[in-house]
Amino acid sequence: MTVMTTPNAYAGTWATFAETHDAPAWVREIRESAWAKFEELGFPTVRDEDWRFTDVSALAENAFALASGAPDAVRATQLSDLRLGESETATIVFVDGTYQPTLSRTSGLPGGVVAMPLADALREHENLVRPHLGSLSGDDREAFTHLADAFLRDGVFVHVPNGTAVTGAIHVLFVSTSGRDTMTFPRVLAVAGESSEVVIVEDHVGLGEGRLFANAVTEIVVGANAKVSHYFVEQSNEDSYAVSTLYVSQSRDSDFSSHSALLGGALVRNNVFPTLNGENCMSVLNGMYVPRGHQLHDNRMRVRHAEAHSESRQYYRGILDGRAKAMFSGRIIVDEGAQKTDAVQSNKNLLLSADALVETKPQLEIYADDVKCTHGATIGQIDDEAIFYCEARGIPVETARRLLVFAFVNEIFERMELDPLRERLQRIVAERLNERE
């Protein structure tokens, strides 16, 4: 038997990276073992069931170079539209993979709360970081996550002590400027202690042009009885590749919500993988995707109920225009002991163009015998009778269309409690609909 081995295009980049970016020994170990796993797995191909429609061969074939962000590549005024006003308790900004101290501010946080660059936390808070970093999903990590672990260097670390509630949001901005075949590894680790509360906004925004590749990994540890909300906004430039994976581990009585808004990118893969590791957990995955032109937005949910008496909700809606493609795959895994699990999944899609394509797929893996799992998916077009009803009230047809399309995702917006961010997203979606005419 002959084994064909394709040389990994990133081997040279990684070797140079590992040599030139010093880190504590335990971090270097993470990098090395992750690299070994990535070399073994390689990039997924369209022959993988989970990547059937999402072709990342361009990433495998061309070695993207590590982006190097200049300290003053972006001015504060360029970010002013992204700010959350008084709701923004702390801000941490990265530009092209590099932390920007002058654009960041964490002084408003309550005592004991840590929000800082991960590179510093690796040294200063090893005891808080090490137990969680890169550990959340055990062996079930994606190839892309191994790649991100192999290039682990910096990112954002948030730690909220037991019983502490952070009012407002911790706003993490990963900004990219122009580049050509460059890559970044946006990274977030957030640990919320018992009975704590925190809102984290992860904003990926492209201010420039060119084919970029962002491979984001976020790990969130939700302590017992804690309440954590995570917002993910994907707004990179429309030539870019963006793969993001959110790993969440929930302890008992915790309440987690994930809100995603996919707007940008050429190819976006949004993985949301919560594990409900305790009883009486609530996990809400709420998201929208609005690809147009040739954009592809691929959403993969994997909700694992590991213990009894927990609830999960998946609400995802997509509006597709032009020749856009979108996927939604919602996997619910109910472990043997997870009796009385209550899981709901709903995915609805609205096609504005005959050339748009959507695939939606529920997957239930249930190993317990007393559970309630419901799922539903729809793909449809604008209801002509609803348009006529609006017209019959004097509303011009274009306004009626906008009203109906906007209403389609409004339910998703309504679950977003962070007003300034929701309003920003609503504005963007409304502008897109206006641009159609």
Partner 1 sequence: MIKIQDLHVNVEGKPILKGINLEIGNGEVHSIMGPNGSGKSTLAQVLAGHEAYEVTQGRVIMDGQDLLEMDADERAREGLFLAFQYPVEIPGVSTMEFLKAAYNAKREHRGEPEVDALDFLKLVKEKLGVVKMDEAFLRRSVNEGFSGGEKKRHEIFQMAVLEPKVAVLDETDSGLDIDALRIVAEGVNDLRGPERSMIVITHYQRLLNYIEPDFVHVLVDGRIAKSGGPELAHELESRGYAWIEEAVRAGATG
Among 57, 397, 419, 434, binds partner 1 (CB under 8 A): 397
Of 331 and 348, which has the nearer Cβ to partner 1?
348
Of 47 and 393, which has the nearer Cβ to partner 1?
393
Per CB under 8 A, the segment of 125-133, 200-208, 299-307, 394-402 that binds partner 1 is 394-402
Determine if 427 is a binding residue for partner 1 (CB under 8 A): no
Of 279 and 411, which has the nearer Cβ to partner 1?
411
CB 94 within 8 A of CB 100: yes
Among 111, 394, 431, 435, binds partner 1 (CB under 8 A): 394
Among 71, 293, 374, 389, binds partner 1 (CB under 8 A): 389
Determine if 403 is a binding residue for partner 1 (CB under 8 A): yes
Per CB under 8 A, the segment of 67-75, 137-145, 174-182, 405-413 that binds partner 1 is 405-413
Nearest one of 156, 137, 119, 82 to 428, comparing CA atoms: 82
- Min CB(319)–partner 1 separation in Å: 12
Of 191 and 352, which has the nearer Cβ to partner 1?
352
Of 167 and 399, which has the nearer Cβ to partner 1?
399
- Min CB(117)–partner 1 separation in Å: 41
Give the 3-state secondary structure of residue 328.
strand
Beta strands in 73-193 (DSSP E): 88-95, 98-99, 114-117, 156-160, 165-176, 182-184, 187-192
**The CA-based dihedral angle spanning residues 85, 116, 245, 185, taken in that order and rounded to the nearest 10 degrees:** 110
Per CB under 8 A, the segment of 35-43, 110-118, 274-282, 393-401 that binds partner 1 is 393-401
Of 11 and 407, which has the nearer Cβ to partner 1?
407
- Min CB(86)–partner 1 separation in Å: 23
Mask 337-376, x = binds partner 1 (CB under 8 A)? Answer: ----------------------------------------
Q: What are phi and psi of 386, to 5 degrees?
A: -70, -40
Residue at token pair 């529920």: 362
Residue 105 is classified by DSSP as B
Per CB under 8 A, the segment of 109-117, 152-160, 285-293, 403-411 that binds partner 1 is 403-411
Determine if 53 is a binding residue for partner 1 (CB under 8 A): no
- Min CB(379)–partner 1 separation in Å: 16
- 419, with CB counted inside 10 A (0-12, 13-18, 19+), is exposed
Give the 3-state secondary structure of residue 397.
helix
φ/ψ bin of 256: left (φ > 0), alpha (ψ from -120 to 50), beta (otherwise): beta
Among 410, 415, 428, 436, binds partner 1 (CB under 8 A): 410
Among 396, 417, 419, 427, binds partner 1 (CB under 8 A): 396
- Min CB(422)–partner 1 separation in Å: 14
Per CB under 8 A, the segment of 124-132, 193-201, 365-373, 408-416 that binds partner 1 is 408-416
| Tokens found for residue 395 | 């509303």
Of 190 and 412, which has the nearer Cβ to partner 1?
412
Residues 6+ apart with CB under 8 A from 140: 273
Nearest one of 215, 54, 249 to 144, comparing CA atoms: 215
Residues 6+ apart with CB under 8 A from 210: 178, 179, 180, 181, 182, 237, 239, 240
Determine if 379 is a binding residue for partner 1 (CB under 8 A): no
CB 326 within 8 A of CB 296: yes
Among 5, 392, 431, 435, binds partner 1 (CB under 8 A): 392
User: Cα(245)–Cα(218) distance, rounded to whole angstroms?
Assistant: 6
Residue at token pair 């856009």: 324
- Min CB(424)–partner 1 separation in Å: 19
What ranges in 42-176 are assigned the alpha helix state H?
A: 57-61, 118-124, 126-129, 143-150
Most distant CA atoms of the chain, gap in Å: 73
User: Cα(42)–Cα(19) distance, rounded to whole angstroms?
Assistant: 22
Residues 6+ apart with CB under 8 A from 81: 424
CB 262 within 8 A of CB 288: yes
Determine if 377 is a binding residue for partner 1 (CB under 8 A): no
Determine if 393 is a binding residue for partner 1 (CB under 8 A): yes
Determine if 399 is a binding residue for partner 1 (CB under 8 A): yes
Per CB under 8 A, the segment of 5-13, 127-135, 270-278, 387-395 that binds partner 1 is 387-395
| Tokens found for residue 380 | 């449809």
Binding site for partner 1 (CB under 8 A): 383, 385-386, 388-397, 399-400, 403-404, 406-411
